[in-house]
Structure 1
Amino acid sequence: MKLKTTISIILLALLHFTGNIQAQNVTFEKSAPLLPQLKDSNPKEIAWGYLNVPETWGVNNGKTIKVAVTILKKTSNEKSNNAVVFIQGGPGAGGIVNIWSWLDHPLRKNNDIVIFDVRGTGLCQPRLSEDLGEKFLDILAKNQSVEEDEKQKADAAMLCKQELINRGINIDDYNSFAVANDLHALKSALKYTNWNVYGVSYGTYVAQVYANNFPEDVKSLVLDSAIYDISTYYVENTSNYMASLHKIFDMCKKDKKYNAQYPDLEKTYYSVIADLEKNPLTVAVDKNIVPSGSFTYNAEDFKVAIQQALYNKQLVEVIPLLIYQFHERKEEPLANLVSAFSSLLEMDYAVYYCMSCNEALPNNDFSKYQQNAAQFKGLQGGISFYKSDFKVCDAWNKNRTAASKKHHDLSNLASAKYPVLVFSGEFDPITPQTNGEKVAGRFPHGYNVAADTYGHVPSFTSIGKEVAEKFIDHHLPEVLAFQKADKIELVTSVIINKGISKAGNSIGELNPIFLFPLALALIIMLVFMFMYLIKLLKKSYSTSQDKIMRICLIITSAVGLALFGSLIMAILNVSQQNFFILAFGLPQHFGYVFSLVFGFLGCLALSSVYFMATIKKTNQRGLIFSVIFSNLLLATYLLYWGII
C-alpha cells in the first residue's frame, strides 16, 4: 500500500511539473540573422531565433523573455543528431558574439553548434544593461582614491538595479538555476535527445548546475577554466593571481637574458604599485573610448592590468615589458592599453551583478578574502576591481530575502555517467590548474588537461580545439596534448614607438575612404619612379637640373616605398609572432624600419628644397610636383599614425 501511495505521489508531481511547463508555453521562433555581418548567411548552414521562456521558472504569471540563439549546422553529411551547446562566462558576456570561434571549429564537422546569449545579455530581449560597463570605465579613468572609485561603482550599480526594477525586471530570476532551465527547454525545443555541454570560465559553474539538475540532457561535458567551489571563487582571488604572476618573476630570475633585460622584476612590480599610489599617471586616449580624452592609471588600475594580461599567452609574454613601461612612466605605449580596459568592460554588468550577487558573493566571506590578500603586503589589499564587488553586492542584496542568495547543490555530479573533460591553464589567474584537478576529480569519468604555457580558456587554441574534437567525437581524452605547445618566450629588446599600433589597426581595418589617397600616392610614386629611371637611362634630359631633380625623386620614392613595404612586413610578421608587441613598438631586429623613416624624411626634404630652388628651370613642373606631393602624403600618414 505504501509503495502504491509513493508511486501515486511521484506521478502527480510529474504531471504537475509537466502541466506547469506546458502552461508556461515555451516556444522557439525563427528569426532573421541577428548579426549584421552575417545577414546574408544561408539558413541551411546557420539558423537564428529566439527561445521564449518564462522569466520566473515555476510561476505561471504569463511573463516571458527572449533568449537569443544561433545554430551552426554541421558541415558533414552525418545523419546523427549530435550537437554541442556553448555556455559563455563572465557572468554577463554574450555567447553569440563568439560565433567567429566556432564557424571553422573542427567540432562543427559532425555536430551542430548551438550558441546562445545567457538571459539578459547580448541580443536577448530584454537586454538588462548596455552601458554600465562604460560607466565603470569612466570611473576607472578618473584621478581619485580607491574608496571614491568603489563608492561611485556601487552607486552606479544601485542606479542600474533601480532602473531594472522600474522596468519590471525581476533580478532574482537571472542566475545559474534559471539558465539551466533555459538550456533544458532549448534542448527540447530544438529536438535534441541529449547534447555535449561546453562551458568556459563562469559558464563552467552554470554547466555544472545544469548537469546536476538535468543529467539526462548531457552526452559529455567540457569545462574550460573551471570553477570548483563557488564559496572560494572570490576568497582566493588574490593568491591565485599572485601564484600565476610569480611564475613570470621566477622565469626572469632563472634566465640570464630575461634578468639582464628586466632586473629585479618582482621588486619593480611592487615599486610601481607604491609609486602609482602616490603619483598616478595620466595618459591621453581616444575620446571614443573615454569621453574625457584622458585616463589616469593608479595602483589599482596597474594591478588589474597585469592580472588581465595573465589570461592570454601572448600577453603573458609582454608582462615584464609592461611592468617596466609603467616603471618608466611611458605614457604613449600605456595609452594603447586603455582599449584593453574598454574590452574588459563590454559585457552586461547588470547580469554580472544579478548572478554574482545572487550565488557567488553571498557565499564568499569578506574577512577570509582580506586574510588571503594580507599575505602580499606590497599588494595593499588585493585587487580593488574584484574587492569592490563585496561592497556592491552588500548594497545590491539589501532588503532581499536570504532565500534569493543561492548555493546550488552539485551533489548529483558525483554519480554522473557521462565523460567530462576539464581544461586548466598554467598561468590562469582566476581559475588555476588546481581547480581543474579538483573539478575533474568530482566526476567518476573526469579528465584534466593541463594546458601548459597558456592562461584562461585554453581550449580555443589550436591544440585545445583538436583535444576537444577528439574527446567529443571520438571519446579520446588527450590529457598530455599541451606538452607539445611552444614554450613561453618573454618579449625583450623592443623599440618603443606609439605609432606602430595605430598604423597596424588603421591598415588592418581596410577602410577604402581613408586608405585610397595613400594607395594612389604609392602608385604614383612607383609608376613615375620607373618612368624617370627609364628616361634617365635613355638620356632624355638635357639640363643638369632636370637630371638631378629626377634622381632625387627616384631615390626619395624608392626609399618611401621600401619604408612602407618594410613597415607592412614588420607589422604582419610581429602580429603572427605576438600581436600585443605592436602596442609598444617593434622588436629591435626591425630597427631598419625606423632608419628608413629618417632616410625617407631626409630625401624628401632635400628633394623639396631643390625643387623650390630650381622650379623656374625645371621642365614638367606639374608632374614633378605630383610626385613630391605623393611622397609628402606618405609622410603625412606616418605623422598621423605617430611613427614620425
Structure 2
Amino acid sequence: MRLRKTISTISFLFAILIGNLQAQNVTFENRTAFMPQFKKSDPKKISWGYLTVPETWGANDGKTIKIAVTVLKKNATAKDSNAVVFIQGGPGASGIDNIWLWLNHPLRENNDIVLFDVRGTGYSQPRLDQGLGKKFLEILAKNQSEEEDEKQKTNAAMSCKQELINRGINLDAYNSQAVAKDLHALKTALKYKNWNVYGVSYGTYMAQVYANNFAGDVKSLLLDSPVYDISTYYVENTSNYMTSLQKVFKICKSDKTYDKQYPNLEKIYYEVIADLEKNPLTVTVDKTLIPSGTFTYNAEDFKVAVQQALYNKKLVEVIPLLIYQFHERRGESLGNLVSAFSSLLSMDYGVYYCVSCNETLPNNDFLKYQQNASQFKGLNGGISFYKSDFKVCDAWNSNRTVAAKKDNTLSNLATATYPVLVFSGEFDPITPLDNGKKVAQRFGKANYIEARTYGHVPSFTKIGYKVVESFIDNPKQKLDLNRFKEADNVKLVTGITINKGVAKTGKSIGEQDPIFLFPLATALVVMLAFIFAYLIKLIKKRYTTVQDKIVRIGITITSITGLVLFGCLLMAITKVSEQNYFILAFGLPQTFNYIFLLVLVFLGCLILTLLYYILTIKKTDARSVIFSVIFSNILLATYLLYWGIL
C-alpha cells in the first residue's frame, strides 16, 4: 500500500514537471548564418539557430526570448556526441562573435563547439544594448570631473533602463540563474547527453551556477580566469589591480636595462596621476570613434588604461612605455589608445547592468571597497570606471526588491564528480591568482594551473590550447600543471621611436580595402615599370638632351627610394607585429630608424625632381609619361602624409 502511494506521488510530481516544461514552450529552430561572412557556409560544418525560452523561467505569462546559437561541427567522423559549450564573460559580451577563435581551435577536431549569446546580448533577441558603450566613451572623452563623469554615466544607464522597461523587458529575468536554465534547455534541444562546459571571466561564475544546479549536464568543467566570490568582485578591485601592476614595477626595477630606460617607474606612475588630475591631456582621435575628434585623458582614464593593459601579456610589455608616454605628455601616440577604450566598451551594457545590478553589486559593500582602495594613497579612491557602478546600480535598483542580497551559494560543487580544470593568469588584474586557487579548492578534486607571464584568459594562448585539448579529449589523464613554466619571460619594450602614423598605416593595409588601396597599388606599379623601362634607355643613352637625361635619372632615383621605403615600412610593420603588435601603437623600434631617414631622402628627391621638371618642361620629351610617374610618387607621399608617417 505504501509503495503504491509512493509511486502514485512520484507519477503526480512527474506529470506536474512535464506539464511545467511544456508550458515553458522551449523550442529550437535552425536559421541562416547570423554573420554575413558565413552566409555560404556548409550547414554540415556550421549550423545556426535560435533557442526559444521563457523570458522569466517559472512564469506562465507566455513571454519568450530567443537565444542565438552557433554550432561548429567537429572535424572527426566519430559518431559520439561530444561537445564543448563556451560561456563568454562580460557580463554582456557576445560568444558568437568569438567564432574566429574557434574555427581552427584544436578542440574542434573531436568536439562540436557550441557558441551562444547570453540572453539579451549579441544576436539574441531581444538585444538589450542601447548604445551605452558609445555614450560611455564620449563621456570619458570629455574634460570634466570624476563626479560629473559618474553623474552622466548614471543618467545614461537610467535612460537605458527606462527604454528597456518601455519595451516590456523584465529586468529581473537577466542573471546567472536564468542563463543556467537556458543552458540546460539548450543541451536538451541539441540532444547532447552531457557536454564539456568552458567558461571565461564572468562566464566562469555563470558556469559554476550552471554546474551547481545541473551537475548531470556536465561532462567536464573548465574555468579560465574565474570569479570566486561575487561579494568581493568589486570590493577587492583596487588591490587586485595594484598587486598585478606592482609585478611590472618589480620586473622593471630588477633589470638594469629596463631601469635605465624607465627609472623610478612606480614613482612616475603616481606622478602621472597627480599631473593629470591638475592638467588633463587632450589628444586628436579618429572622428569615427569620437565625433568631436578629441579625447581628453584625465587621471581616471590613465588608471583604467593601465589596468586594461594588464589583461594581455603583450600589453604588459608596453606598460612602462605607456606610463612614460603619459609622463612626457606625448599626445601624438596616446591618441591610438582610444580605440582600445572603444573595444573595452563594446559589450552590451543593458545586459551588463541587468546582471551586475541583479546579482553582483547588491552583494558588494561600498564601504569595504573604499577601505580596500584607501591602501593606495596615490590612486585617490581606486578606479572610477568600476567605482561608478555602485552609483549606477543604486539608481538602477531603486524601488526594486531585487536589490536585496541573493542566495549565491554554490555548495553542490563540493561534491562534483566530473573533472575540473582552473586557469589563472599571473598578471590578471580583475580575477587574480588567488581567485583561481580558491575556486579550485571549492571542488573535491580540481586541476589548477597558474599561467606564468600571462594576464586574463590564458587558455587562449599556444600553451593554453595544448593544455585545454589534453584535458577535454582525455579529462581523466594526469595533466602537466606546470606547462606554463615554458612560457617566455615578460620582455618589457624599450628603444622605441615614436611615430603615430605607424599604427594607422598598419591598420589601413591590414583592412585591405580595395577602393582605398587601389590608387596606391597603381602608383607603385607605375613607378616599378618606369624604373625597368627607363634604366634600360639610360644605359643605352637614348636621350637627346642633358635636361631629358637628368629628369629621368631624378625620377628613377625617387621611384627606387619610394619603393624601397614602402617595402621596408611593410617589412618593419610585419616583423614588429609578429613580435608585439601593440608596439605599433607607439611607433617602431630604433633598429628601424633608417625608414624615417628614407622618408626624408624620398621627399627631398621628389621635391628636387618636381622642381627641375617644372623648370625644364619645354625641353623634356614624353612629358605626359614623365608627369604620370612624378604624380605616382606624389601619390605615395600623400598616403604617407595621410597615415602620419611624414
TM-score, normalising length from structure 1?
0.98
Secondary structure of 1:231 counterpart: coil
| Cα distance in 1 for residues equivalent to 2:10 and 2:394 | 40
1:571 match? 573
2:345 match? 345
Which stretch has the larger CA shift, 282-291 or 427-436?
A: 282-291
Q: Is the Cα contact below 8 Å between 1:27 and 1:53 reproduced in 2?
A: yes
1:463 match? 463
Secondary structure of 2:390 counterpart: helix
1:154 match? 154
| Cα distance in 1 for residues equivalent to 2:112 and 2:547 | 71
Cα separation, partners in 2 of 1:403 and 1:240, compared to 1, 3 Å: closer
1:511 equivalenced with 2:513 (yes/no): yes
Cα separation, partners in 2 of 1:428 and 1:11, compared to 1, 3 Å: farther
1:198-213 matches, cutoff 5 A: 198-213=198-213
- Alpha-carbon shift at residue 408 of structure 1 (Å): 2.1
Secondary structure of 2:529 counterpart: helix
| Cα distance in 1 for residues equivalent to 2:577 and 2:177 | 41
Secondary structure of 2:92 counterpart: coil
Cα separation, partners in 2 of 1:3 and 1:359, compared to 1, 3 Å: farther
1:471-490 matches, cutoff 5 A: 471-475=471-475, 476=477, 477-490=479-492
State which of 601, 621, 624 in structure 2 corresponds to 1:622: 624
| Cα distance in 1 for residues equivalent to 2:271 and 2:551 | 56
Cα separation, partners in 2 of 1:220 and 1:234, compared to 1, 3 Å: same
- Alpha-carbon shift at residue 634 of structure 1 (Å): 0.5
Deviations for 1:380-419, whole angstroms, at most 9, x for unmatched residues?
Answer: 0000000011111111111111576423220000000000
Deviations for 1:439-491, whole angstroms, at most 9, x for unmatched residues?
Answer: 11111221111111110011111111111011000224331111111111100
Q: Is the Cα contact below 8 Å between 2:358 and 2:403 reproduced in 1?
A: no
| Cα distance in 2 for residues equivalent to 1:5 and 1:487 | 68
Cα separation, partners in 2 of 1:403 and 1:584, compared to 1, 3 Å: closer
| Cα distance in 1 for residues equivalent to 2:13 and 2:406 | 24
| Cα distance in 2 for residues equivalent to 1:484 and 1:7 | 59
Report the residue type matching 1:548 in the other structure: I
| Cα distance in 2 for residues equivalent to 1:395 and 1:60 | 29
- Alpha-carbon shift at residue 438 of structure 1 (Å): 1.0
1:75-86 matches, cutoff 5 A: 75-86=75-86
- Alpha-carbon shift at residue 12 of structure 1 (Å): 3.8
| Cα distance in 2 for residues equivalent to 1:5 and 1:56 | 34
| Cα distance in 1 for residues equivalent to 2:143 and 2:403 | 40
Secondary structure of 1:127 counterpart: coil
1:535 match? 537
4+ long deviations beyond 4 Å: 1-11, 402-405
| Cα distance in 1 for residues equivalent to 2:152 and 2:184 | 39
| Cα distance in 1 for residues equivalent to 2:608 and 2:224 | 60
Deviations for 1:279-306, whole angstroms, at most 9, x for unmatched residues?
Answer: 1111121121112221111100000000
Report the residue type matching 2:594 in the other structure: Y
Q: Is the Cα contact below 8 Å between 2:423 and 2:450 reproduced in 1?
A: yes
| Cα distance in 2 for residues equivalent to 1:3 and 1:172 | 42
| Cα distance in 2 for residues equivalent to 1:13 and 1:268 | 67
Cα separation, partners in 2 of 1:194 and 1:535, compared to 1, 3 Å: same
Secondary structure of 2:527 counterpart: helix
Q: Is the Cα contact below 8 Å between 1:458 and 1:464 reproduced in 2?
A: yes
1:168-179 matches, cutoff 5 A: 168-179=168-179
1:552 equivalenced with 2:550 (yes/no): no
- Alpha-carbon shift at residue 60 of structure 1 (Å): 1.3
| Cα distance in 1 for residues equivalent to 2:366 and 2:161 | 22
| Cα distance in 1 for residues equivalent to 2:590 and 2:434 | 38
- Alpha-carbon shift at residue 14 of structure 1 (Å): 3.9
Cα separation, partners in 2 of 1:155 and 1:5, compared to 1, 3 Å: farther
2:415 match? 415
Deviations for 1:166-211, whole angstroms, at most 9, x for unmatched residues?
Answer: 1110000000000000000000000000000000000000000000
Cα separation, partners in 2 of 1:320 and 1:187, compared to 1, 3 Å: same
Secondary structure of 2:85 counterpart: strand
- Alpha-carbon shift at residue 554 of structure 1 (Å): 1.2
Q: Is the Cα contact below 8 Å between 1:89 and 1:204 reproduced in 2?
A: yes
Secondary structure of 2:231 counterpart: helix
- Alpha-carbon shift at residue 130 of structure 1 (Å): 3.8
Secondary structure of 2:191 counterpart: coil
1:198-347 matches, cutoff 5 A: 198-347=198-347
Q: Is the Cα contact below 8 Å between 1:282 and 1:295 reproduced in 2?
A: yes
- Alpha-carbon shift at residue 541 of structure 1 (Å): 1.6
1:341-380 matches, cutoff 5 A: 341-380=341-380
Report the residue type matching 1:150 in the other structure: E
Secondary structure of 1:196 counterpart: strand
1:586 match? 588
| Cα distance in 1 for residues equivalent to 2:290 and 2:543 | 57
1:452 match? 452
1:128-207 matches, cutoff 5 A: 128-207=128-207
Cα separation, partners in 2 of 1:268 and 1:7, compared to 1, 3 Å: farther
Report the residue type matching 1:444 in the other structure: G
| Cα distance in 1 for residues equivalent to 2:474 and 2:486 | 21
Report the residue type matching 2:44 in the other structure: K
Cα separation, partners in 2 of 1:402 and 1:63, compared to 1, 3 Å: closer
- Alpha-carbon shift at residue 232 of structure 1 (Å): 0.6
Total equivalences in the alignment: 644
What's the C-alpha RMSD, in Å, of the aligned pairs?
A: 1.3
Secondary structure of 2:292 counterpart: coil
Cα separation, partners in 2 of 1:271 and 1:2, compared to 1, 3 Å: farther
| Cα distance in 2 for residues equivalent to 1:112 and 1:510 | 32
Cα separation, partners in 2 of 1:544 and 1:44, compared to 1, 3 Å: same
Q: Is the Cα contact below 8 Å between 2:357 and 2:403 reproduced in 1?
A: no
2:74 match? 74
- Alpha-carbon shift at residue 7 of structure 1 (Å): 6.7
Report the residue type matching 1:452 in the other structure: R
| Cα distance in 2 for residues equivalent to 1:253 and 1:405 | 44
Report the residue type matching 1:638 in the other structure: L
1:611 equivalenced with 2:610 (yes/no): no
Deviations for 1:417-451, whole angstroms, at most 9, x for unmatched residues?
Answer: 00000110010000001111111111122111111
Which stretch has the larger CA shift, 474-483 or 617-626?
A: 474-483
| Cα distance in 1 for residues equivalent to 2:403 and 2:640 | 61
Q: Is the Cα contact below 8 Å between 1:172 and 1:404 reproduced in 2?
A: no
| Cα distance in 1 for residues equivalent to 2:147 and 2:277 | 13
1:525 match? 527
| Cα distance in 1 for residues equivalent to 2:232 and 2:446 | 21
Secondary structure of 2:459 counterpart: helix
Secondary structure of 2:75 counterpart: coil
Secondary structure of 1:458 counterpart: coil
Deviations for 1:474-513, whole angstroms, at most 9, x for unmatched residues?
Answer: 2243311111111111000100001101111011111111
State which of 501, 504, 507 in structure 1 corresponds to 2:503: 501
Q: Is the Cα contact below 8 Å between 1:563 and 1:593 reproduced in 2?
A: yes
| Cα distance in 1 for residues equivalent to 2:249 and 2:9 | 62
Report the residue type matching 1:545 in the other structure: Q
Secondary structure of 1:495 counterpart: strand
| Cα distance in 1 for residues equivalent to 2:76 and 2:542 | 65
2:637 match? 635
For structure 2, the 5+ residue unaligned runs are none
- Identity among equivalent positions (%) equals 72
1:41 match? 41
- Alpha-carbon shift at residue 162 of structure 1 (Å): 1.1
Report the residue type matching 2:162 in the other structure: Q
| Cα distance in 2 for residues equivalent to 1:351 and 1:13 | 35
Which stretch has the larger CA shift, 297-306 or 618-627?
A: 618-627
| Cα distance in 2 for residues equivalent to 1:8 and 1:584 | 74
Report the residue type matching 2:559 in the other structure: S
Which stretch has the larger CA shift, 128-137 or 91-100?
A: 128-137
